[in-house]
């Protein structure tokens, strides 16, 4: 048998050619692909590689962390929580009854500017514990209806705010129905501060999601009033509060842009706010806050990212150091065959 | 029938008593109650050990046979080889039972002499063991294994004995049916016992109505297809829904149809499941269609069936029991039929049983003398055949034929089975007895169980775990939702984002609120729908695709292409690719798998001189003769030794030349080969094809022909041999056919020079005892030495001897031969005895070395597999010596191994052998363990144990409590060789291992006899050789050569396993991370199952965003190169140890998944808490973050980066971006333009970067630490590949390259 097993020692890649002349042979054609021999790079995690990777991460992360912390700290924010304060003390036992009662519910608030605020100053209202992302809620809207006057009666998804008095509601659905209706007016030193409510919504929404010829109809005519009423003479594409409101928030604590104050506020300025406290967050003990905030490249005031970056960067630096020490103390030669299991414990496996 | 196989090798525990003289005393000891000893003298005694192994003959008890009344007292337990004679004086049955039990003492399984007619028993046996054995035997005899004793003293009851009656007349003129083999086999058939009525079927020859009167026999149509048109859909769906996951997805899809729960669109939720089901159904349907087609072809083949007085063609499927069928030469046999007559005047028919047992040589079958002359188309035959009910024993058959008032017994040699082919016989006529699915071949093809890979089975378990997680998540959600609802119960009507009540209608009504309890239930069910991809349906699709891809590469592998048969590797089962990487046991067939089943004469030792130059000289000498104007050449060329040829040409004048002459004459004459002339394209030429039962004989005759001794013609009375151009005619005066008892055969030739010569050839073990040692002792020594040398090369050796016979001696022999061959009972024994009288005092001529050619690369492959930690078991139908010699030549056995041979013939002795062997091997193990610790690092040192066990013993072991012991024993052994095993036993052995371990088994074979084994094993591999397709058809993988097993397992198996294991874990991770992100978000939405990630992204996540890279990596990634895997077969252990997929990895993955989901979810959550971020924007951030993360996670684990991997991973990330952009550019969706707003903010990018680094860091650290400080073998090998110094390592691996380079010829 030995005569048969003599190997052809060449064994090179091209030796398959020898027989390829055979006709109708089923021999698989040689290609690097079919033989799974495509050129490839085979990275291996060597200590050096790993340590430099961690070093790199820490070098990138720590400056970013510092920068974003600074940016976040630069943002000036005035937050005024008012949902309790704006209820007369006599009515505080039953806030829901109060808020549901008709009549104006004016409320005066005073804000103090702690630091100079450069324009534009964004005016937000912040709701806590308001689940704009509740399944019932987010589904209760009709995008067709908002866009197209012909789809007016396309209200199947809008239950339970689909019809009122036998007619379809435009805009229908719980979201529109619950439109935030507290209003704010600001004055500084008895001087009215204009709040620019233009362009507070996304341009894309105004142009493509809310129709220019769709007008509110039959809105808030149901037996239960949810929130703001709409000016029936303005098309939906111009109802920016609605547009902002309809872009539902991701999280139960959220801010919505109310408007922009386009003048600088100086330090120690006192700002009088007259607000209409209409919105019922009391039935689910939601908080209402008025927020005035400047902005930075990182957005609003939030230290989290900065801290996160510093932490990750610091940890990576620490790991890089630790690996360096370990590598120096207890190195292992890569590719040492004596580590193979059958070389380590002979005879048994 | 396995039971009649001789037990050739002594069991290590039995004393060697084979040469004990015949001592009446012993028979007395053995049989103290047996009255006078005189009766015993001169009687033939056989080994009862062989008697009780006839499991296969299923016979009722012998209660009702009227014929037995005379002989009942003479009955004894006897063996196939002969009989134990009881004194005829016994009368009472009780006495009989005592005596028979006494008689059935186990004798040493080795016995040699048939000539000495006395009870030979080992004096060492203790009586207690005697009794236990004998009681068992007598019990067994009650059921099925009593053999009728045959002795000359009992000629009275000859009428119903089963000896073939042959008329021996003038030796020279009349055809002779030689030998004892036929008689042997018939001695087994329990002719004198009746078949129980309910166990028998009665076939009225050529009388279908009467045959089918009582029983409804099925037709001859067969059906291997699984489905019909009507049953396809339900059955296929039923089978597909065996997968737990499919049921799960079905439930989800159904749930999503309920309006209250509709989370996703209705059609969309069904689509993936429907797609998978459809693809699988189409695949199954196509496969079944092919089976249908082959069934139809098979059923519509034509057979020539007697209708009225003429044979008409009839479709196979219409053949009925009782019909008379005529088969022409080379036709396949349509059903199991009893032979009536054949074209041969002596009633011989040759069949090829390759499809049944894988043996390609011809088997002789006989028609009964009584029916031989009947021509059913001329005169109507009436008669009946009463036979046992259909069973799957292909070596056993038991029946009577009643014809012309005579009652003939039929045995396995009288039946030809479906699946065989008639050869060398012009025609045969037979009666169909078993048809269709009752034929033995169909009964033997046990149904193909659908296989599931081990990994997938494990995976199903983990999927159940995952569903546990899923339920936990859903429970958390619904519990929280319940609490929330409870807590806010009073406000629900008013809460702006809930608004329980619907005022729009006239009356105030609850809107979409079904009460607290139902709400919770709905929340639960909805959360199941939302979190459904926790259980990855995409994984099933990916796995199918990956397997197709892996199969593509396996098929295209140039190293697994077989040039000789021009066949590629075939992947027939797509479910079990990864199992190839975990094989622990390989069960291999021998013939055709390890060997090419081509015997080749290699060398000879003649008169003490070793001639083996033929191996080195490539010179092909073609002797040719001219017969009838045609120049005939032997079909197979044999390399000839030039010295020897020179010697032959110089003539037989020298002493040396004379012996060489005699030697080759013996080779050419001493056989049963039939020369056939095969026409070739050349009109003046032809090929001489030597056909015969034994491939060894064929090889020898071809060898003789190469040296100028061409056998040209053989009739019953003479042979013609062309000796160096000189045609000579030799009269065949007598021929003792080979029997496995004597292990030799002899022929008595009347030579042209009027001398009478006896040529004997046989196994060395028996030959040296009949060679006259007084002469030529040095020659004998030399020959013995040569034989030893040959067999250590793995050659099969035969010793040739001769003697000259004087006229008187011949006369003496002739008369006794005549007498013996006409004897009606005990003919076999008598013939053996006669043979014994003449096969002695031989002059040694020499010995031949025949190579049972191993397939290319087999020893290297076996060695490689062994190094890889795979246990190789060889299961063969061949006899023990052959198996052992192949074991040596294939390096399966080495001289250093301790062999344990178990040839037992009763359950009891089996048990004892096993227990002894276990004790011994334990001892050896401990000894070798001790020495090993001393010897240090030489791998497998110490004593290795090889177990050799035969089919007879296995009969007792399988399906009994002894299985456990055998398994224990086998676990100590490095090699297990099973000889003489029947097809179903092979499956039994595989099952023995498979059921007891969690280890994977692989069976490889080429013949139909391997089918059951192939189907039983976890992985079945068929050798697509020249012979038969059955093995391939039932296999999971098919390939051309055994050695391809090495690249298949070590390379592809390893890769596939590693890839698939990683892919499954990764898919679990990938989906779970996504589900967890959804889950975390749900906690911030009042548990109302809102998702921030859009429905579209949820759907596309496992289809577009992340599917391609895992499939590409699953198909293409290689942890190690082919070369490394072949160089270090031990690396295969990674799969055996389940390194790529185990519960530790699973739980690690779970923890990692958990962390990553936290990082992905909470970094944006905190970053955007209390900001004006809208749901779509943060959803897009989460989508992108998770997709980039899982793709980078995969990228981190990719081992080999080629351009396809790059394209897949980076392409997927890019595709995800594009998809997100596209989705957000659809105005009708809520998230319109969100992504374009959010990417303009810095915090988006900061979040993304932070998520990826924070999520990956722990895994990266763990991975690095693990790889660096607890490196696995694979890791080391990877480093070796990259950094290793090739010259420094691999000292011992050089020879392994043989396998690597072989296919690149």
B1204, B1263, B1280 ranked by CB distance to A337: nearest: B1280
Average the pLDDT over B524-529 and give the result. 88
Contacts of B513 (CB under 8 A, 6+ apart): B492, B500, B519
Most confident segment among A95-104, B182-191, B928-937: A95-104
A40, A45, A336 ranked by CB distance to B1200: nearest: A40
CB contact under 8 A, A34 and B553: yes
| Residue B405 CB neighbour total at 10 angstroms | 6
Q: What is chain A's alpha carbon radius of gyration, rounded to the nearest angstrom?
A: 34
CB contact under 8 A, A255 and B859: no
Mean pLDDT over each residue of chain B, to the nearest integer: 74
B552, B860, B1172 ranked by CB distance to A254: nearest: B1172
Find, in chain A, the residue whose alpha carbon is nearest to that of B1086: A134
pLDDT for res B743: 76
Average the pLDDT over B1241-1255 and give the result. 93
Cβ atoms of A207 and A229 closer than 8 Å = no
Query: Is the Cα dihedral B1199, B1205, B1208, B1212 positive or negative?
Result: positive
- The residue count for chain B: 1305
Joined tokens for residue A120: 């534009």
Is B800 or B934 the better-scoring residue by pLDDT?
B800
Strand order in the sheet with B336-342: B310-315, B302-307, B324-328, B427-434, B336-342, B415-416
Q: State yes or no: pLDDT of B62 exceeds 80.
A: no
Q: How far is A114 from chain B (nearest CA, A)?
A: 21
User: What is the Cα–Cα distance from B105 to B45, expressed in whole angstroms?
Assistant: 12
CB contact under 8 A, A347 and B940: yes
Would you place residue B152 in the very low, low, confident or very high pLDDT band (cuts 50, 70, 90)?
Answer: very low
Q: Convert the pLDDT of each residue in A143-155 to its tens digit.
A: 888 888 888 888 8
Most confident segment among B84-98, B144-158, B193-207, B490-504: B490-504
Is B421 or B135 the better-scoring residue by pLDDT?
B421
Q: State yes or no: pLDDT of B1304 exceeds 70.
A: no
Mean pLDDT over each residue of chain A, to the nearest integer: 84
Chain-centroid distance of CA B657 in Å reads: 48
Residue A147: its chain B contacts at CB < 8 A?
1227-1228
User: What is the Cα–Cα distance from B639 to B853, expressed in whole angstroms?
Assistant: 14
**Domain regions of chain A by residue span:** 47-75+301-328, 77-294
| Residue B204 CB neighbour total at 10 angstroms | 19
pLDDT for res B439: 81
Contacts of B36 (CB under 8 A, 6+ apart): B87
CB contact under 8 A, A131 and B497: yes
Contacts of B754 (CB under 8 A, 6+ apart): none
CB contact under 8 A, B1086 and A131: yes
Select from B560, B1263, B1281, B1194 the least CA-distant residue to A28: B560
User: What is the Cα–Cα distance from B970 to B967, expressed in whole angstroms?
Assistant: 5
Q: Which run of H or E residues covers position B921?
A: helix B907-935
pLDDT for res B504: 60
User: What is the Cα–Cα distance from B744 to B769, expressed in whole angstroms?
Assistant: 12
Would you place residue B694 in the very low, low, confident or very high pLDDT band (cuts 50, 70, 90)?
Answer: confident
Q: Which of A335, A339, A343 to mutate to test the interface with B (most CBs of B within 10 A)?
A: A335
Most confident segment among B170-179, B420-429, B503-512, B1182-1191: B1182-1191
Would you place residue B1286 in the very low, low, confident or very high pLDDT band (cuts 50, 70, 90)?
Answer: low
Cβ atoms of B217 and B434 closer than 8 Å = no
Average the pLDDT over B266-273 and give the result. 69
Q: Which of B1163, B1170, B1248, B1259 to mutate to test the interface with A (most CBs of A within 10 A)?
A: B1170
Q: State yes or no: pLDDT of B114 exceeds 80.
A: no
Would you place residue B257 in the very low, low, confident or very high pLDDT band (cuts 50, 70, 90)?
Answer: confident
Which three-class secondary structure string do you get for B538-549?
Answer: HHHHHHHHHHHH
- CB-neighbour burial class of residue B28 (10 A; exposed 0-12, middle 13-18, buried 19+): middle
CB contact under 8 A, A280 and B496: yes
Distances in Å between the alpha carbon of B496 and those of A130, A251, B1089?
Answer: 8, 16, 18
Q: How far is B1271 from chain A (nearest CA, A)?
A: 8
Distances in Å between the alpha carbon of B751 and those of B382, B800, B805?
Answer: 47, 18, 11
Q: State yes or no: pLDDT of B275 exceeds 60.
A: yes
User: What is the Cα–Cα distance from A98 to A340, expressed in whole angstroms?
Assistant: 79
Select from A135, A141, A138 the least CA-distant residue to B527: A135
pLDDT for res B509: 65
- CB-neighbour burial class of residue B437 (10 A; exposed 0-12, middle 13-18, buried 19+): middle
pLDDT for res B401: 81
User: What is the Cα–Cα distance from B1091 to B1076, expressed in whole angstroms?
Assistant: 11
CB contact under 8 A, B1250 and A308: yes
B1178, B1264, B1297 ranked by CB distance to A250: nearest: B1178
CB contact under 8 A, B1257 and A315: yes
What are residue B111's phi and psi, to 5 degrees? -155, 155
DSSP code of residue B767: H
CB contact under 8 A, A134 and B1085: yes
Respond yes or no on whether the N-terminal peptide bond of residue A120 is cis (omega within 30° of 0): yes
B1130, B1172, B1203 ranked by CB distance to A256: nearest: B1172
Question: What is the reported pTM?
Answer: 0.75
pLDDT for res B508: 63
Q: Convert the pLDDT of each residue in B842-897 to its tens digit.
A: 888 888 888 877 888 888 898 898 888 888 888 887 767 778 878 887 888 887 78
Q: State yes or no: pLDDT of B1299 exceeds 60.
A: no
Q: State yes or no: pLDDT of B810 exceeds 70.
A: yes
Residue A307: its chain B contacts at CB < 8 A?
none
- CB-neighbour burial class of residue A41 (10 A; exposed 0-12, middle 13-18, buried 19+): exposed
- Binding-site residue set of B for ATP: 589-591, 697, 738, 761, 796, 876-878, 980, 986, 1009-1010
Q: Convert the pLDDT of each residue in B434-466 to its tens digit.
A: 888 788 777 766 544 567 778 888 888 888 888
- Count of A–B CB contacts within 8 Å? 336
Specify the pairing of strand B718-723 against strand B726-739.
Answer: antiparallel
- The CA-based angle B478-B479-B480, given to 5 degrees, is 90
Cβ atoms of B892 and B948 closer than 8 Å = no
- Binding-site residue set of B for Mg(2+): 589, 591, 1006, 1010
Chain-centroid distance of CA B1163 in Å reads: 58
Residue B1203: its chain A contacts at CB < 8 A?
38
Respond yes or no on whether the N-terminal peptide bond of residue A160 is cis (omega within 30° of 0): yes
Cβ atoms of B748 and B834 closer than 8 Å = no
Cβ atoms of B56 and B3 closer than 8 Å = yes
Q: State yes or no: pLDDT of B966 exceeds 90.
A: no
Q: Which of B478, B480, B485, B504 to mutate to test the interface with A (most CBs of A within 10 A)?
A: B504
Q: State yes or no: pLDDT of B306 exceeds 70.
A: yes
Q: How far is A51 from chain B (nearest CA, A)?
A: 10
Residue A137: its chain B contacts at CB < 8 A?
497-498
Cβ atoms of B944 and B896 closer than 8 Å = yes
Is B1181 or B914 the better-scoring residue by pLDDT?
B1181
pLDDT for res B445: 61
Q: What is the residue-wise DSSP string for B317-333? A: GG--TT-EEEEETTPBP
Residue with tokens 């919505």: A256
Residue A347: its chain B contacts at CB < 8 A?
932, 937-942
User: What is the Cα–Cα distance from A98 to A116, expressed in whole angstroms?
Assistant: 37
Find, in chain B, the residue whose alpha carbon is nearest to that of A320: B1261
User: What is the Cα–Cα distance from B1047 to A289, expressed in whole angstroms?
Assistant: 71
CB contact under 8 A, A26 and B1178: no
pLDDT for res A10: 36
Select from A252, A35, A41 the least CA-distant residue to A138: A252
B494, B555, B1242 ranked by CB distance to A283: nearest: B494
DSSP code of residue B1120: S
Q: Convert the pLDDT of each residue in B550-602 to its tens digit.
A: 888 888 888 888 887 778 888 877 778 888 888 889 998 887 788 877 778 88
What are residue B1021's phi and psi, to 5 degrees? -120, 130
Q: State yes or no: pLDDT of B79 exceeds 50.
A: no
What are residue A291's phi and psi, to 5 degrees? -125, 130
User: What is the Cα–Cα distance from B545 to B664, expressed in whole angstroms?
Assistant: 61
Select from B1067, B1072, B1076 the least CA-distant residue to B476: B1076
pLDDT for res B356: 66
Average the pLDDT over B1043-1057 and give the result. 91
Most confident segment among A208-217, B284-293, B624-633, B1210-1219: B1210-1219
B496, B1178, B1202 ranked by CB distance to A40: nearest: B1202
CB contact under 8 A, A134 and B497: yes
CB contact under 8 A, B1178 and A251: yes
Is B1223 or B193 the better-scoring residue by pLDDT?
B1223
Select from B40, B54, B99, B53 the least CA-distant residue to B75: B99
Q: State yes or no: pLDDT of B1241 exceeds 80.
A: yes
User: Which residues of B belong to the active site?
Assistant: 589
Cα dihedral B29, B33, B38, B40, rounded to 10, equals -70
Q: How far is A333 from chain B (nearest CA, A)?
A: 9
Contacts of B956 (CB under 8 A, 6+ apart): B53, B55, B904, B906, B907, B910, B962
pLDDT for res B729: 87
Q: How far is A145 from chain B (nearest CA, A)?
A: 10
Q: How far is B1095 from chain A (nearest CA, A)?
A: 13
Q: What three-state secondary structure class fits B251?
A: helix
pLDDT for res B1018: 87
Q: State yes or no: pLDDT of B116 exceeds 70.
A: no
Cβ atoms of B10 and B109 closer than 8 Å = yes
């Amino acid at each position: 048998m030995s005569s048969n097993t003599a190997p052809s020692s060449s064994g090179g890649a091209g030796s398959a050619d020898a027989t390829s002349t055979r006709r109708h042979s089923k021999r698989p054609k040689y290609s690097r692909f079919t033989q799974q021999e495509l050129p490839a790079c085979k990275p291996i995690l060597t200590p050096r590689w790993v340590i430099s990777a961690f070093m790199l991460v820490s070098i990138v992360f720590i400056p970013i962390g510092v920068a974003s912390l600074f940016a976040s700290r630069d943002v000036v924010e005035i937050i005024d929580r008012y949902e309790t304060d704006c209820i007369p003390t006599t009515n505080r036992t039953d806030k829901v009854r109060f808020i549901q009662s008709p009549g104006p519910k004016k409320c005066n608030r005073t804000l103090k500017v702690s630091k100079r605020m450069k324009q534009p100053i964004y005016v937000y209202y912040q709701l806590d514990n308001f689940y704009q992302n509740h399944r019932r809620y987010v589904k209760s809207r009709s995008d067709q209806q908002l866009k197209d006057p012909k789809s007016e009666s396309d209200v199947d998804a809008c239950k339970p705010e689909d019809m009122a008095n036998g007619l379809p509601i435009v805009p229908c659905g719980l979201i529109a129905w619950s439109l935030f209706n507290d209003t704010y007016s600001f004055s500084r030193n008895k001087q009215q501060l204009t709040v620019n409510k233009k362009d507070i919504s996304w341009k894309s929404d105004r142009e493509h999601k809310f129709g220019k010829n769709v007008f509110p109809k039959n809105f808030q005519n149901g037996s239960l009033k949810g929130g703001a009423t709409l000016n029936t003479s303005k098309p939906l594409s111009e109802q920016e509060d609605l547009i902002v409101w309809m872009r539902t928030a991701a999280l139960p604590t959220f801010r919505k842009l109310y408007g922009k104050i386009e003048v600088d506020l100086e330090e120690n300025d006192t700002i009088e706010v007259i607000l209409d406290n209409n919105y019922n967050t009391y039935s689910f003990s939601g908080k209402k806050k008025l927020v005035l905030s400047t902005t930075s490249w990182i957005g609003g005031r939030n230290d989290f990212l900065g801290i996160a970056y510093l932490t990750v960067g610091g940890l990576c630096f620490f790991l890089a150091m630790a690996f360096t020490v370990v590598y120096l103390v207890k190195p292992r030669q890569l590719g040492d065959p004596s580590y193979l299991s059958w070389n380590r414990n002979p005879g048994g496996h | 029938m396995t039971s009649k196989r001789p037990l050739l090798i002594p069991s290590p525990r039995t004393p060697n008593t084979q040469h004990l003289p015949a001592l009446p005393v012993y028979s007395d000891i053995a049989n103290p109650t047996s009255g006078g000893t005189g009766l015993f003298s001169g009687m033939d005694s056989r080994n009862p050990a062989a008697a009780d192994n006839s499991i296969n003959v299923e016979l009722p008890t012998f209660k009702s046979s009227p014929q037995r009344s005379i002989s009942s007292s003479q009955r004894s337990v006897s063996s196939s080889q002969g009989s134990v004679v009881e004194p005829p004086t016994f009368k009472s049955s009780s006495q009989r039972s005592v005596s028979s039990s006494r008689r059935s003492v186990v004798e040493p399984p080795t016995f040699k002499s048939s000539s000495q007619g006395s009870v030979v028993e080992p004096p060492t046996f203790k009586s207690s063991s005697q009794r236990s054995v004998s009681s068992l035997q007598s019990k067994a005899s009650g059921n099925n294994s009593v053999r009728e004793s045959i002795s000359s003293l009992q000629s009275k009851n000859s009428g119903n004995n089963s000896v073939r009656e042959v008329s021996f007349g003038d030796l020279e003129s009349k055809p002779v049916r030689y030998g004892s083999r036929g008689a042997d086999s018939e001695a087994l058939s329990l002719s004198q016992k009746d078949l129980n009525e309910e166990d028998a079927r009665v076939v009225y020859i050529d009388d279908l109505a009467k045959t089918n009167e009582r029983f409804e026999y099925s037709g001859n149509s067969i059906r291997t297809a699984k489905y019909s048109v009507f049953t396809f859909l339900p059955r296929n769906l039923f089978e597909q829904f065996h997968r737990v996951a499919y049921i799960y997805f079905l439930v989800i899809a159904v749930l999503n149809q309920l309006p209250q729960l509709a989370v996703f669109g209705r059609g969309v939720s069904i689509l993936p499941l429907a797609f998978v089901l459809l693809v699988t159904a189409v695949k199954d349907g196509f496969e079944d269609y092919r089976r249908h087609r082959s069934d139809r072809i098979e059923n519509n083949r034509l057979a020539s069936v007697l209708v009225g007085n003429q044979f008409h063609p009839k479709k196979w499927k219409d053949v009925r029991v009782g019909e008379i069928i005529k088969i022409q030469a080379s036709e396949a046999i349509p059903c199991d039929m009893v032979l009536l007559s054949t074209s041969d005047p002596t009633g011989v028919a040759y069949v090829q049983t390759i499809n049944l047992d894988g043996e390609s040589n011809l088997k002789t079958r006989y028609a009964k003398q009584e029916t031989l002359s009947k021509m059913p188309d001329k005169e109507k035959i009436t008669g009946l055949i009463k036979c046992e009910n259909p069973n799957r024993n292909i070596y056993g058959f038991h029946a009577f034929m009643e014809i012309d008032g005579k009652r003939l017994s039929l045995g396995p040699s009288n039946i030809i089975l479906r699946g065989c082919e008639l050869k060398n016989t012009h025609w045969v006529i037979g009666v169909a007895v078993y048809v269709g699915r009752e034929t033995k071949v169909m009964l033997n093809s046990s149904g193909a169980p659908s296989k599931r890979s081990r990994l997938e089975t494990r995976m199903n378990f983990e999927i159940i775990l995952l569903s546990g997680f899923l339920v936990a998540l859903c429970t958390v959600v619904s519990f929280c939702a319940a609490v929330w609802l409870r807590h806010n119960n009073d406000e629900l009507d008013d809460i702006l984002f809930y608004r329980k009540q619907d005022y729009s209608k006239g009356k105030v009504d609850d809107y979409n609120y079904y009460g607290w309890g139902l709400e919770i239930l709905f929340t639960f069910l909805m959360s199941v729908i939302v979190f459904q991809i926790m259980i990855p349906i995409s994984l099933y699709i990916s796995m199918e695709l990956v397997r197709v891809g892996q199969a593509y590469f396996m098929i295209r592998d140039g190293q697994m292409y077989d040039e000789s048969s021009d066949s590629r590797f075939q992947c027939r089962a797509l479910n079990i690719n990864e199992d190839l990487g975990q094989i622990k046991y390989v069960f291999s067939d021998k013939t055709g798998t390890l060997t090419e089943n081509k015997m080749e004469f290699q060398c000879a030792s003649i008169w003490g001189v070793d001639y083996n130059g033929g191996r080195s000289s490539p010179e092909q000498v073609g002797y040719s003769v001219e017969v009838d104007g045609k120049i005939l050449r032997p079909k197979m060329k044999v390399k000839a030794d030039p010295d020897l040829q020179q010697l032959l040409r110089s003539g037989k004048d020298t002493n040396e030349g004379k012996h060489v002459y005699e030697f080759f004459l013996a080779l050419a004459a001493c056989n049963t080969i039939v020369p056939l002339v095969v026409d070739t394209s050349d009109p003046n030429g032809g090929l001489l094809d030597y056909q015969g039962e034994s491939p060894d004989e064929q090889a020898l005759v071809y060898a003789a022909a190469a040296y100028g001794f061409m056998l040209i013609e053989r009739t019953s009375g003479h042979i013609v041999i062309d000796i160096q151009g000189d045609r000579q005619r030799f009269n065949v005066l007598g021929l003792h056919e080979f029997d496995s008892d004597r292990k030799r055969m002899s022929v008595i030739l009347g030579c042209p020079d009027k001398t009478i010569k006896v040529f004997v050839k046989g196994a060395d073990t028996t030959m040296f005892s009949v060679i006259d040692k007084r002469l030529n002792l040095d020659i004998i020594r030399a020959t013995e030495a040569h034989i030893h040398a040959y067999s250590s090369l793995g050659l099969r050796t035969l010793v040739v001897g001769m003697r000259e016979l004087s006229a008187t001696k011949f006369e003496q022999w002739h008369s006794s031969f005549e007498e013996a061959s006409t004897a009606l009972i005990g003919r076999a024994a008598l013939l053996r005895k006669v043979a014994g009288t003449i096969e002695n005092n031989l002059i040694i001529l020499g010995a031949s070395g025949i190579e049972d050619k191993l397939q290319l690369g087999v020893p290297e492959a076996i060695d490689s597999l062994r190094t890889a930690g795979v246990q190789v078991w060889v299961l063969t139908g061949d006899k023990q010596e052959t198996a052992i010699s192949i074991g040596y030549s294939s390096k399966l056995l080495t001289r250093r191994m301790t062999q344990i041979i178990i040839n037992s013939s009763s359950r009891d002795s089996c048990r004892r052998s096993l227990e002894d062997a276990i004790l011994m091997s334990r001892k050896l193990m401990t000894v070798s363990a001790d020495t090993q610790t001393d010897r240090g690092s030489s791998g497998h040192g110490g004593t290795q144990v090889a177990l050799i066990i035969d089919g007879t013993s296995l009969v007792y072991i399988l399906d009994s409590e002894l299985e456990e012991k055998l398994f224990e024993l086998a676990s100590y052994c490095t090699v297990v060789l099973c000889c003489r095993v029947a097809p179903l036993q092979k499956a039994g052995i595989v099952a023995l291992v498979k059921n007891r371990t969690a280890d994977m088994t692989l069976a490889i074979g080429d013949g139909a006899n391997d089918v059951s084994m192939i189907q039983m094993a976890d992985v079945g591999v068929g050798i697509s050789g020249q012979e038969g397709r059955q093995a391939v058809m039932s296999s999971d993988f098919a390939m051309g050569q055994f050695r391809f097993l090495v690249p298949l397992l070590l390379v592809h198996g390893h890769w596939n396993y590693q890839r698939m294991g990683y892919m499954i874990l990764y898919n679990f991770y990938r989906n779970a991370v996504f589900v967890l992100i959804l889950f975390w978000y749900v906690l911030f939405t009042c548990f109302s199952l809102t998702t921030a990630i859009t429905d579209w992204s949820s759907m596309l996540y496992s289809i577009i965003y992340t599917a391609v890279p895992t499939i590409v990596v699953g198909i293409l990634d290689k942890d190690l190169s082919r070369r490394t895997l072949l160089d270090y077969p031990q690396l295969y252990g990674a799969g055996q140890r389940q390194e790529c997929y185990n519960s530790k990895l699973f739980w690690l993955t779970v923890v990692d998944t958990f962390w990553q989901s936290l990082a992905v979810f909470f970094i944006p959550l905190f970053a955007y808490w209390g900001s004006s971020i809208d749901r779509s924007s943060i959803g897009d951030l989460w989508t992108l973050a998770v997709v980039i993360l899982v793709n980078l996670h995969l990228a981190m684990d990719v081992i080999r980066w080629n351009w396809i991997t790059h394209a897949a991973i980076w392409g997927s990330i890019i595709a995800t971006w594009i998809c997100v952009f596209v989705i957000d550019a659809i105005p009708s969706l809520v998230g319109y333009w969100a992504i374009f707003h959010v990417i303009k903010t810095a915090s988006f990018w900061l979040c993304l970067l932070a998520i990826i680094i924070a999520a990956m860091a722990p895994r990266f650290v763990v991975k690095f630490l693990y790889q660096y400080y607890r490196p696995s073998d694979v890791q080391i090998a990877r480093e070796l590949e990259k950094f290793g110094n090739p010259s420094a390592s691999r000292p011992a691996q050089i020879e392994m390259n043989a396998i690597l380079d072989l296919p690149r010829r």
